Chains A and B, each alone.
Chain A
Amino acid sequence: MAPKKNARESANAAPVVAAPALAPVEPAPVVKPAPTKPKASEASTPWDKVLINLYNHYIDETPQRTKLLDVFLVFLAAVGALQFLYCVLAGNYPFNAFLSGFGATVGQFVLTISLRIQTTEANKSEFPQVSPERSFADFIVCSLILHFFCINFIN
């Protein structure tokens, strides 16, 4: 227990120091809306700007690993949607295959979401005892159990 706490304390210490450096980045989104207003009159709708703004913010502010997670989540959502669409169109026979195929994707999605929650810096306070390495190991173990179960069940 003790070493862990120490590690976290040291990690916490670093942000405190670095915070002023990043401060100018934070207001960037606040600054951007101001120029959007004159542009809004030129563009057809302010929604474009909102979306672009959101996108830029995401690109700039999200850690690289979280982006990777999001890409994987989008991929899983697409695979799950395809499987569900096939079930709707072609029928659910054999049902165990549908359950395990769709369940594997949904389960993987849920596990990945969990990993994302646990590794997001903003949630650090929620999981004081879970380091990113630990959550990634959990993620791998749970995923392997899920895959094992689904492959068994699809027979």
Chain B
Amino acid sequence: MRSFLGVVTFLFTAVASAVSTKGNRLLVLLDDVAQKDGYAKFLGDLTARGYQIVYDTPRSEQLSLFELGERQYDHLLFLPTKVKGLGPKLTPNILIDFVNAEGNILVAQSSTHSASTSIGNFLAELDITLPAGRTGLVVDHFNYDTITASEKHDVLVLDAPEPVRDGVKSFFSPSADAVLALPNTVGHTLGAGHLLTPVLRAPSTAYSYNPKEQFDAVDADDLFAAGKQLSLVSVFQARNSARVTVLGSADMIQDSWIEAKVSRPKGSKVTVANREFAKALTGWTFQELGVLRVNEVEHHLTGDNETNPGIYRVKTDVTYGISISEYAWDSWKPYNLPENDALQLEFSMLSPFHRLDLSPVSVTKDATVFGTSFILPDQHGIFNFRVNYKRPFLSVVDEKHTVSVRHIAHDEWPRSFVISGAWPWISGIGATVTGFVAFCAVWVYSKPTPKAGKAKKTQ
């Protein structure tokens, strides 16, 4: 009976944790729990993927992110709220602690609600800057929806995002010709930190303004940001692989917009791909996508059976292999490198003596083994095999394995008679010794003659 229960519990946890690598407890924060009906399709998708959603308001008494020092939730979703501050339970410090404890946060904003100070300060910690007054509206007079926003131009119609640069995995493009609609968008700008990555940037003709204070004209000095510097959706991945996403338009995931039909100026009517985009965005933020796992690391002398020895000799041939899996929605898959990207191995003592590209050696059902062979440097000491793979949208891989490299022992050098260059000198010794023996023999044989004795006497 007990074992049966155990099996059931195991199966249950297996199913429950299949959704995300980091757990399925999701806390959604909104002004009023009744507001969740506006996001029924979006939240329904999350529930269907296995999340256990808890709805709460910032004012709630029993709200607490931590219980006895442990996270109570794995993920946090902020929907737009009207309150100016989120109260003592959600201070920026607590949110940072939540990220440090590997919790993921998705912040959705809307120009109809100005963001709370807590959120503003929290994002400022990550080097994400919100417009003055923590509110603003992005408009674009060229890429707007002619059906609903022919006058105000505040519903942006954009192509699905492309990777910001080469060699980055594309997680957020539902299909090549997909279109997104972003109503009431708040833009933000990103600092230079390498942990920040823009997912969706405003087109070059867009700009941000404050509809309450700058309703007739935007002074150039007061302009928050315009064009590509304005990000609409951005992600931040901390060094512990916790993820924070800022979604500029919460309205795009509301039921009224998630599958709306829009039309660009001089374009035809198309259905937006907001739902797929929201799925990808939540999937990535809540660690269902782009999570890398190192299964095992193996290094050995080429042609030798001993795995991961603690000591090597200089100038020997070593084979290194690392097995990596990538989590995609519900299972671990073999990891494939994006084009123009390289997984590299460093063999380093203080600084790398080798930095080598690892190439796929074998692929199993759920893992790819990347490997390479190289000759150890002619330098003894304590070295590390290090794979330091930090890429946008992928969780951090930093594997370090320390080994000693010893010098060549005295009896491991090649003998001189093996080296043909030494033969003349060997024969030199031979000639000397032979000459010596012959000389001694003749010397002993040649007894001084009386004549020589006479010669001696004269001198």
Q: Identify the A interface with B (CB < 8 A).
A: 14-19, 21-23, 25-26, 61-65, 68-69, 72, 75-76, 79-80, 82-83, 86, 90-91, 93-94, 96-98, 100-102, 104-105, 108, 112, 121-122, 136, 140, 143, 147, 150-151, 154-155
Q: Which residues of B contact A64 (CB under 8 A)?
A: 446, 448-449, 452
Whether A68 contacts B457 by the Cβ 8 Å rule is: no
CB distance from B433 to the nearest CB of A (A): 5
Name the 5 nearest CB pairs between A and B, nearest first.
A101-B425, A15-B457, A97-B422, A22-B458, A101-B428
Interface SS of chain B = helix
Closest residue of B by beta carbon distance from A87: B425
Q: Which residues of A contact B421 (CB under 8 A)?
A: 90-91, 93-94, 97
Q: Which residues of A contact B381 (CB under 8 A)?
A: none
Q: Which residues of B contact A102 (CB under 8 A)?
A: 425, 428
From B426, B433, B457, A147 is in contact (CB under 8 Å) with B433
Q: Which residues of A contact B443 (CB under 8 A)?
A: 65, 68, 136
- The answer, yes or no, to whether B305 is at the interface (CB within 8 Å) is no
CB distance from A132 to the nearest CB of B (A): 8
- The answer, yes or no, to whether B8 is at the interface (CB within 8 Å) is no
- The answer, yes or no, to whether B295 is at the interface (CB within 8 Å) is no
Inter-chain CA distance A14–B440, complex, in Å, is 27
Whether B432 contacts A19 by the Cβ 8 Å rule is: no
**A100-B448 CB under 8 A given contacts A83-B424, A86-B424, A91-B421:** no
24 contacts between A and B (CB under 8 A): A17-B457, A18-B454, A64-B448, A72-B439, A76-B432, A80-B428, A82-B424, A86-B424, A94-B419, A94-B422, A96-B416, A97-B421, A101-B426, A101-B428, A101-B429, A102-B428, A104-B432, A105-B431, A108-B435, A136-B443, A143-B436, A147-B436, A154-B426, A155-B415
CB distance from B439 to the nearest CB of A (A): 5
Whether B428 contacts A63 by the Cβ 8 Å rule is: no
**A108-B436 CB under 8 A given contacts A100-B429, A101-B428, A147-B429:** yes
Q: Which residues of B contact A15 (CB under 8 A)?
A: 456-458
**A150-B429 CB under 8 A given contacts A64-B449, A68-B443, A143-B436:** yes
Q: Which residues of B contact A147 (CB under 8 A)?
A: 429, 432-433, 436
Whether A94 contacts B435 by the Cβ 8 Å rule is: no
Inter-chain CA distance A122–B424, complex, in Å, is 38
- Mark contacts of B233-249 with chain A using CB atoms, 8 A cut-off: 1 yes-contact digit, 0 otherwise: 00000000000000000
Number of interface residues of B (CB under 8 A): 31
Inter-chain CA distance A41–B415, complex, in Å, is 63
Closest residue of B by beta carbon distance from A84: B428
Q: Which residues of A contact B415 (CB under 8 A)?
A: 155
Q: Identify the B interface with A (CB < 8 A).
A: 413, 415-416, 419, 421-422, 424-426, 428-429, 431-433, 435-436, 439-440, 442-443, 446, 448-449, 452-459
Q: Which residues of A contact B436 (CB under 8 A)?
A: 108, 143, 147
Inter-chain CA distance A15–B439, complex, in Å, is 28
CB distance from A12 to the nearest CB of B (A): 10
Q: Which residues of B contact A69 (CB under 8 A)?
A: 439
**A61-B424 CB under 8 A given contacts A68-B446, A108-B436:** no
Whether A79 contacts B455 by the Cβ 8 Å rule is: no
Whether A104 contacts B429 by the Cβ 8 Å rule is: yes
Q: Which residues of B contact A101 (CB under 8 A)?
A: 422, 424-426, 428-429
Q: Which residues of B contact A155 (CB under 8 A)?
A: 413, 415-416
**A19-B429 CB under 8 A given contacts A14-B453, A155-B416:** no
Q: Which residues of A contact B431 (CB under 8 A)?
A: 79, 105
From A22, A83, A140, B457 is in contact (CB under 8 Å) with A22
Closest residue of A by beta carbon distance from B439: A72
Inter-chain CA distance A19–B456, complex, in Å, is 9
